[in-house]
Amino acid sequence: MNHTFFATAPKGLSRLLADELRALGAVNTQPVTAGVSFQGPIGVAYAVCMWSRLANRILLQIAQLEAADEQALYDAALSIDWQDHLNPSRTFAIDYTGRNASFRHSQFCALKIKDAVADYFRKTSGQRPSVQTDQPDVRISAFARSPKVTFYIDLSGTSLHQRGYRATAGQAPMKENLAAAILLSAHWPDIARDGGAFVDPMCGSGTLAIEAALYAADRAPGLNRRWWGFQGWLGHDETAWLPIAQAARERAEQGRQQVPPLFAADQDRDILRIAQDNAKRAGVIDSIEFQQRSLREWPAAPAPFGLLAVNPPYGERLADNHQLTPLYAQLGALIQQQFHAWRYAVFAADTAPSHALGLERPRRNAFFNGALACTLLTGGRRRAPRNEDEAPAKVETPDAALTQIADMLRNRLRKNIKEAERWARKNNVQCYRVYDADMPEFSFAVDLYQGEQRWLHVQEYAPPASVDSHKAALRRQIALQVLPEVFDIPADSVYFKFRKRQRKGEQYEKLAEQKQFFAVAEGMAKFWVNFTDYLDTGLFLDHRPTRAMIGELAKGKRFLNLFAYTGSASVYAALGGAASTTTVDMSTTYLDWAQRNFKLNGLSGQQHRFIQADCLQWLDQARRERESFDLIFLDPPTFSRSKRMDQTFDIQRDHEALIGAAMALLKPAGTLVFSTNAQRFKLAASASENWSVEDISQTTIPWDFRRNPKIHQCWMIKRP
């Protein structure tokens, strides 16, 4: 006798599940978003319960009835012959999903169905079965799609993705059936039959490796399950079930002898221990070699052919990408160099920086991990080479030339580091630029920041349109692989950003809102830096000599810092003994940052003012209120169009008026330090005509920025 069933599945798996169901004997399969409907005898449903690697639940349809309103829902449930499925001495539970135009509250609808089942037995036998939500004898599912409600018996009991081996998961667990779908999409069953090996270099709690072992060993995913929903159902056919269970045990015993080499690695020892415990419970601990190692420590592929499958950290927020980009670049380099003859499968969230992998034209499949939209990237060989002629060359991917320039980059970085460390120790500098597009192939700026630990802040300059995008991605990948290695720091301490040239009228926008700050030292000062939320970190390293000069000039002076950003110049002035400091910026975020910098340096008192205002408007107000200062630092943006401003600001167009307004507040013997990072800026001739102007650009460019002498321009302006 054929029945109608419905197999539920995570979003994105329905078509794969339909293929799996047909292979298990199901007929009339119809995939929909939430799963697949199918038909067959009860034995097919039992086989699906035991063998489906993709389904969540297997539901047996027992009725489909009209239910226009809540009373009709109750009446529909009451009309079912529940004595065919449940007796009053057993327990039951109700699951309700779906939508109806007249009733939408799922808990209330489940309660109406529960009342109907209980009332049915009270009327027919005088007894009411008990409700038990945790492992009831019979679980009843109801799905509403107006105007009908379909009733099911849940044959699985609990979700089939719960294989019983995972007592503890890692920080970002992947469900077992999603892992199986990834492996199936990457052709792992075929690769395993060909004798190909398996590697997960970032295994976490081991789900991908364990599911790969279950596939390769022909071990049913339901073999360890101790309870099935159909065991408490009155319609259960034990004679149909026993041969399926026995065959699964026999196939598992035989399959143990045919498992190819499987390797799982993670750099976290505690997580690796969890993966090993999970593999032990799954019965595949002897099939997987677990290793504690990082991506950088893979010397070569452990076999000529196989599948590398990995679920790297997701980066659910765009802010995370600055840290994840180097990690993804390392992973891409591993795939293309050590595992170039293998097939690969990389499962990543859509928000993750998968472009940093540098993979050439991978196939993309959309999946979901829970509610998180993800993409599976696959590529490489689907089967083992059959003969020597078919085997790939040893290392021609990406190509020998890229390997050579990677070595060139390593050598250049090591040389730069040696020189920079010597200079930094001599000059007591903790945060400095180590590399600034020294090689045309690697157009990056690399800054080292040091506090309680070390971080790299990496900015890639946008390549011209004439540069092939794939080559650029490969070089980015190589650079981000080499940097952690050469500096001997973890990949997640490397923060990557892409810096394109601003067009006229553009300004840099906020990147994210992670709000993660680290304290770093600079000379006599300390500062909070943020590597993720903005294009810059909160500390302009090229202004290091300028800040030191301000600290020396400020003793006993009234100091004004306009367009103050995070107040680093104000900190130097205060530490240098300024009588007072006034820090003005339009951004409340930056002013709060500036105040935190003051607190970090033990600075406080009413003599230190922080004013949130449009600097142009404030200058006019300060002139009317007869404010005056001995030392002013003016470092305006190149362009600004903030909503708080009455008009846009352009440094070239507006600097004459701006300097004039600042000079109006300067005491007769005072000094204005004016700076800009606008590359094509030209100081108006009227400045030299009206005041004494000294170009101090060269003396304020630090040694570590000598490759970019136009990083800023700076003048000291005084009254004649």
Secondary structure string (H, E, C) spanning 232-298: HCCCCCHHHHHHHHHHHHHHHHHHHHHCCCEEEEECCHHHHHHHHHHHHHHCCHHHEEEEECCHHHC
Both 670 and 706 in one domain: the answer is yes
| Domain membership of residue 211 as a residue range | 176-217+259-380
Look at residue 387 and tell me if it is in a domain. no
- 573: helix, strand or coil: helix
Counting every residue, how long is the chain?
Answer: 720
Residues 207 and 351 in one domain: yes
Residue 166 to residues 61, 89, 281, 323, 344, Cα–Cα distance (Å): 30, 33, 8, 29, 25
H or E element, residue 73? helix 70-78
Phi, psi of 565, deg, nearest 5: 60, -120
pLDDT in tens, 362-386: 999 999 998 889 999 999 977 766 5
State the sign of the Cα–Cα–Cα–Cα dihedral 580, 612, 503, 356.
Answer: positive
Q: What is the dihedral of CA 622, 627, 631, 634, to 10 degrees?
A: 0
Indicate if 354 and 210 belong to the same structural domain. yes
Q: Is residue 207 part of a domain?
A: yes
In the chain, how many domains are there? 4
Judgement on whether residues 629 and 568 belong to the same structural domain of the protein:
yes
pLDDT digits (tens, 9 = 90+) for 68-95: 888 899 999 999 999 999 999 999 999 9
pLDDT in tens, 260-317: 999 999 999 999 999 999 999 999 999 999 999 988 888 789 999 999 999 998 765 4
Question: Does 645 have pLDDT greater than 70?
Answer: no
- Which of 499, 528, 562 finishes a domain? 499
Task: Tell me whether residue 191 is in a domain.
Answer: yes
Q: What is the CATH number of the domain that holds 312?
A: 3.40.50.150
693 plus 653 within the same structural domain: yes
pLDDT digits (tens, 9 = 90+) for 145-203: 878 899 999 999 999 999 989 876 555 578 999 999 999 999 999 999 999 999 999 99
Q: What is the distance between the alpha carbons of residues 570 and 301, in angstroms, rounded to a whole number?
A: 55
Residue 486: inside a domain: yes
Tell me: do 495 and 412 sit in the same domain. yes
Residue 656's closest CA among 671, 677, 629, 634?
A: 634
Q: Residue 580's pLDDT band (boundaries 50, 70, 90)?
A: very high
Residue 606 maps to a domain: yes
